[in-house]
Structure 1
Amino acid sequence: MAGLDRNNRILQELVLQPGNNVCADCAAPEPDWASYTLGVFVCLNCSGMHRNLPAVSKIKSIRLDYWEDSLVQFMAERGNRAAKAIFEKHVPASFYRPQQKDCIVLRDQWIRAKYERREFTNESCLQTYSSELFESVLWKKGRHNKQFLKRIFLLSQKDFTLRYFLKEDSKVPKAVISMKDLNAEFQPEKIGHAHGLQISFKEDEHTRNLFVYHEDGQTIVSFFNALRATRLAYLLKKHPTLQSNDLIPQLTTQCLKEGYMEKTGPTQREPFKKRWFILCSMNRKLLYFKSPLDATDLGSVFIGSENHGYLVSESCSRSTRSGRWHCGITLETPGRQFVFMCEQEEERREWMEAFRTVISQPMTPEDYASTKILLQLKQDTVFLSKFKSQPSLLIISLFLCVQMKLL
């Protein structure tokens, strides 16, 4: 018993050391489990994934299990920092390193890649995710139905595109997607599959969503990391003065908040309608859809900074045509006031926190460019609407424009 107490005390001292005080795999604080074959301290959740690799990793509790002197000595000699130097020596810059809150497939494949497949112990594996062409067969949801069908996806670093084909022998792609505005995010609960991945991009001034999955976790995570590698190559070419580390946060991002709210129209006299909202911090947009798995958004709201007149507050006002929900939010913008209704007070609190996170961030040059484009489109729309009832004026205006160019 004395030996047990002594060894467990040593382990609890070791786990407080820098590097050991967070999980070696997901950075969760205060890990209380350890792999005595790999020499790493891990959290409870990651310890369960290590148990699925019995040939590679053997797990014990640092508080409850019996530890032999030789195992304690090994843990003291190895530890998380030394293990990372071995198992994470050549992780590609674009490779996503999962955190505590990430979905299971990301964390599981990270652990398998490091310890079971040892992908990062030598440089030869870097080409797997960073090759000029990367092909994968995935199940994709139809644009207008719920059916998932096999599609061939091809990533190219030559022209920075993602293509997908309907059949193996298809020579013409169904779509060619630029890396410019592409984002990928794991959405297992929304898609209804543990390996569900959502790919979003711009299409005709709207956001287009693709929902895909693969039965094999390694395949879908490899595809996800290949997407990140291709997008990094695009950003490095676009910003030649920046380094890879400067661009990592822009490769793929998770939305700040998504869920149902009720929305009314611009006059606030229209009936409230239930819509699925997604708030993205990267492009400062609030997108809304009829349902979570819609392929294209119904509309979007740009959210600037507080310095530019954007403000969010609680709202108790109720339209006579409002729906069933009573927890209101008012979003003030320079051009319009938006009113939303949440079902529960907790939902309202989470949405307001997400809104304030975006509003508190200073706008980037790209944000200013986006707002100018939106403003120009609105101005063009207003200009054309003035001539809708007077086509003769439109003809005269066009004639004058042509004459000015000829002169």
Structure 2
Amino acid sequence: MAKERRRAVLELLQRPGNERCADCGAPDPDWASYTLGVFICLSCSGIHRNIPQVSKVKSIRLDAWDEAQVESSMCVGLEAASAQWLSLSSPGRLLREQWIRAKYERQEFIYPEKQEPYSAGYREGFLWKRGRDNGQFLSRKFVLTEREGALKYFNRNDAKEPKAVMKIEHLNATFQPAKIGHPHGLQVTYLKDNSTRNIFIYHEDGKEIVDWFNALRAARFHYLQVAFPGASDADVSVSSRQTEGFRKRWFTMDDRRLMYFKDPLDAFARGEVFIGSKESGYTVLRGLPPSTQGHHWPHGITIVTPDRKFLFACETESDQREWVAAFQKAVDRPMLPQEYAVEAHFKHKP
């Protein structure tokens, strides 16, 4: 009987959508919350144990599952539950507990009346922003307004005109605590004069920065829904994961833009590569062409575009595998209408 119960749980694990942690997206989750009906990784399972009134967890392979627990999981439906609890995107590892408590304990992503901080269409407050020239973090007033389709910040509290206006249309936000040097650090990426620009912000309160993160991504998500009413939620979903590595250049992948920087805190990218879909002639290859000069890099990657090839080298096989997976995910995804305009800009960029 014990083997049959474990087999039933493993069968649920094999269903589409369950191959990654429901909270942080880590592959091959080994734990499950049988009360919530989600598969989670070891790290997130530790946080779930801190909210036992909401979530009760078990190891998929090591713990004994009784019949009631298996039935509870099946009643909730682990696959359906993942969709039920799905929110815009999970934040960085250092803010997981705030994220998980907001998601399950406070249920802020399920009930509309609890989503006011994220989806009201307006948010303002003070955040610490890193100065472009001196690198110091200074308190700045930020205003997010969906009505104007922009995120703005002001250099002075009484300033009538904003220092910068970032269009929601091209906005993205990711947690970058290691890069910024603060556990609640957030990187905001946007376009300025058709070039990618970064700003770096943080707040002392973890929940506050999570609220800003969700507000920014909800605003972008709502914009895409309005701009492309015929698209599915999957088509307009806002991707938050930035695949990064520190090599001779610091690389960041933001949607379909692969950017590289001399320093990870540079405001502007030194160069950019657009990665389109396979239908448009883009391909990702593991390894470098044999004719590559000085070809002694065992962990190379080749990105083939309709116009040229881009060659990259990773330090380890693990890095190579992660980058290839990130590139392939972009290539496999059909391009949205607005992405063709971005591609055209890249082709005509001097």
**Normalising by the residue count of structure 2, what TM-score does the alignment of the two structures yield?**
0.75
Residue 288 of structure 2 aligns to a residue whose secondary structure is strand
Q: Which amino acid aligns with 1:209?
A: N
1:184-211 deviation line (CA, Å, top 9, x unaligned)? 1222333333332221111122100112
Query: Which residue of 2 is the match for residue 210 of structure 1?
Result: 199
1:156 matched to 2:128: no
User: Residues 314 and 79 of structure 1: is their aligned pair in 2 closer, same or farther, counting only changes over 3 Å?
Assistant: same
Matched-pair contact (CA < 8 Å) for 1:235–1:247: no
Q: Equivalent of 2:245, from 259, 271, 295?
A: 259
How far does residue 158 in structure 1 lie from its aligned partner after superposition? 0.8
Percentage of matched positions with identical amino acids: 42
Amino acid at match of 1:294: D
User: Any unmatched runs of 5+ in structure 1?
Assistant: 1-5, 262-273, 379-407
1:276 maps to which residue?
A: 250
- How do 1:150-229 residues align onto structure 2 when only pairs under 5 Å count? 150-229=139-218
Task: Flag the 1:62–1:299 CA change in 2: closer, same or farther, 3 A.
Answer: closer
CA distance in 2, matches of 1:200, 1:253: 11
Aligned-pair Cα RMSD in Å: 4.4
Equivalent residue runs for 1:241-320 within 5 Å: 241-242=230-231, 245-249=233-237, 251-255=238-242, 257-261=243-247, 274-280=248-254, 282-283=255-256, 285-304=257-276, 314-315=288-289
Unaligned runs of 5+ in 2: none
Match of 2:76 among 79, 82, 98: 82
For 1:41 and 1:362, how far apart are their aligned partners in 2? 28
Residues 275 and 65 from structure 1, CA distance in 2 versus in 1: closer, same or farther, beyond 3 angstroms?
Answer: closer
Partner Cα distance (2:312, 2:39) in 1 = 42
3-state SS in 1 of match to 2:260: strand
Letter in 1 for 2:252: I
1:126 is the counterpart of 2:115: yes
Contact 2:150–2:165 (Cα < 8 Å) also in 1: yes
Partner secondary structure for residue 237 of structure 1: helix
Establish whether residue 46 from structure 1 lines up as the match of residue 44 from structure 2.
Answer: yes
**Cα distance between partner residues in 1 of 2:268 and 2:32:** 45
1:39–1:74 contact (8 Å) kept in structure 2: no
Q: Find out whether 1:96 has 2:94 as its counterpart.
A: no
Aligned-residue offset at 1:359: 4.9
Tell whether 2:220 aligns with 1:231.
yes
**What is the distance in 1 between the residues matched to 2:22 and 2:322?**
30
**1:103, distance to aligned residue in structure 2 (A):** 3.0
| Residues 165 and 241 of structure 1, relative CA distance in 2, 3 Å threshold | same
Relative to structure 1, is the Cα distance of residues 64 and 359 closer, same or farther in structure 2, using a 3 angstrom cutoff? closer
Q: Supply the distance in 1 between the matched residues of 2:228 and 2:38 (Cα, whole angstroms).
A: 39
Q: Which amino acid aligns with 2:43?
A: N
Distance 2:102 2:196 in 1: 33
Structure 2 CA distance for partners of 1:26 and 1:204, relative to 1, 3 Å: closer
Q: d(CA) in 2 for partners of 1:10 and 1:333?
A: 49
Which region of structure 1 is more displaced relative to structure 2, 145-154 or 337-346? 337-346
Residue aligned with 1:240, SS: coil
Deviation at 1:124, TM superposition (A): 1.8
Partner of 1:397: none
Indicate if the aligned counterparts of 1:276 and 1:292 stay in contact, CA closer than 8 A.
yes
- Aligned mates of 1:358, 1:33 — CA distance in 2: 29
